Amino acid sequence: MRDIKVAVLTISDKASVGEREDKSGLLIKDLVEFEGGKVVEYKIVSDEMQQIGSTLTEWADKNIAQIIFTTGGTGLSERDVTPEATAKVIQRQAPGFSEALRQQSFKETKKAILSRGISGIRGKTLIINLPGSTKAVDECFKLLKPVLGHAVEILSGNTEHR
């Protein structure tokens, strides 16, 4: 993760209006920085397709970050629209990330099957939807950490296999 530019987008109606602290987004920031990455953007938005989509699009199109992590809005409730908003802005899917996250999380809690998060690419930016709980964020980040550097290299044009 050394020197990788990361953006963190928290999707939460309550956190966006200050009714709840954003613990999962702050945890992602801490984990990224601990691993030597650089958090270049951090934002909290409500569970609204337009807000989520426009933020992801802006960050990816301006090459602000090499990886965007979202947290929240991936469940089954009517307001959980993060996967749909992400699907509208990505240009290519990267389903292996989300499949691995659900599989690993399912070992910890059977409720992981309720997660609908997706992953994909817009331009040279990898976008990964993470759940909203800090426990899930921690577990998911540990799983992703070993492959993120290689993913960023490939997206930046270095396609040599080592």
Mean pLDDT of 89-117: 95
With a CB cutoff of 8 Å and minimum separation 6, the contacts of 154 are none
Angle of helix 49-61 relative to helix 82-89, nearest 10 degrees, comes to 40
Neighbours of 149 (CB within 10 A): 17
Average pLDDT over residues 147-157: 96
| Band of pLDDT at residue 151, cut at 50, 70 and 90 | very high
The b/e string for 56-74 (b: 16+ C-beta within 10 A; e otherwise) is bbebbeeeebbbbbbbbbb
Average pLDDT over residues 105-113: 92
Q: Could you read off the pLDDT of 125-147 as tens digits, one per residue? A: 999 999 999 999 999 999 999 99
Classify 5-155 by CATH class. Answer: alpha beta
Query: HSE-up of 79 (CA within 13 Å, CB side)?
Result: 10
- Six token digits for residue 71: 């947290």
| Rounded Cα gap, residues 27 and 37, in angstroms | 13
SS3 category, 126: strand
